[in-house]
Amino acid sequence: MPFLCSKFNNLDWRKENMECKTTLYDTHVKYGGKMVPFAGYLLPVQYGTGVIAEHMAVRTACGLFDVSHMGEILCEGEGALDNLNHLLTNDFTGMSDGQARYSPMCNEEGGVVDDLIVYKIRDNHYFIVVNAANKDKDFAWMTAHSLPGAELKDISAEIGQLALQGPKAKEILLKLTEETNLPVKYYTCLADRPVAGIRCIISKTGYTGEDGYELYMA
């Protein structure tokens, strides 16, 4: 199984190249991860078993990926929904609590600033996940174009993210949580649920093409 872990709360910057180590950096190294720079972070590109074995593990069993380099932004307030509909190209009206929605974010000329996912936690409270390489640029652009009545907060340094992906993802996750009704439908989530004693957003999302979950934790 690929073992790729995450950033969590505290960031340890390398003075020589300003690349960020994740909290579990030492664990990556301990288990033989080949560390490479990616989007400002030192992340394991593979382990000793090799990428083919890791790929097949995700296809036949399960893999755990480090995606804590991603950016996370809160959009809150009475004007949060109007602000999202103003900033992004998708329509977020009518979203239910626990629903996620993909959207591009475009500039005034129609050029793409980034693509992202918006989670509705509850009314007036949205959790946005943006790409790692663009998170500073994205937050600056959103702040510059934001409407009154909504507050944007970059919480990237406070959030860790793990992706548990593969046909056995549910079986494994159920061993780590008291939550028995895990999200079933793609692009849905449960907020503030315990996983191994840590409160998480459990999201039915991922990019492997397999069953799986993404876990966001503070």
The three state secondary structure string of 49-110 is CCHHHHHHHHHHCCEEEECCCCEEEEEECCCHHHHHHHHCCCCCCCCCCCEEEEEEEECCCC
CB 141 within 8 A of CB 133: no
pLDDT score at 23: 77
pLDDT tens sequence for the chain (218 residues): 232 334 444 444 334 456 888 777 888 999 999 999 998 899 999 999 999 999 999 999 999 998 889 999 999 999 999 999 999 999 999 999 999 999 999 999 999 999 999 999 999 999 999 999 999 999 999 999 999 999 999 999 999 999 999 999 999 999 999 999 999 999 999 999 999 999 999 999 999 999 999 999 98
Q: Say whether both 89 and 144 belong to one domain.
A: yes
Domains identified in the chain, total number: 2
List all residues 6 or more positions away from 50 whose beta carbon is below 8 Å from its beta carbon: none
Domain that residue 29 falls in? 12-68+159-182+191-217
Q: Say whether both 17 and 57 belong to one domain.
A: yes
Q: Against a cut of 0.85, is the pTM above it?
A: yes
Domain presence at residue 4 = no
Q: Say whether both 163 and 151 belong to one domain.
A: no
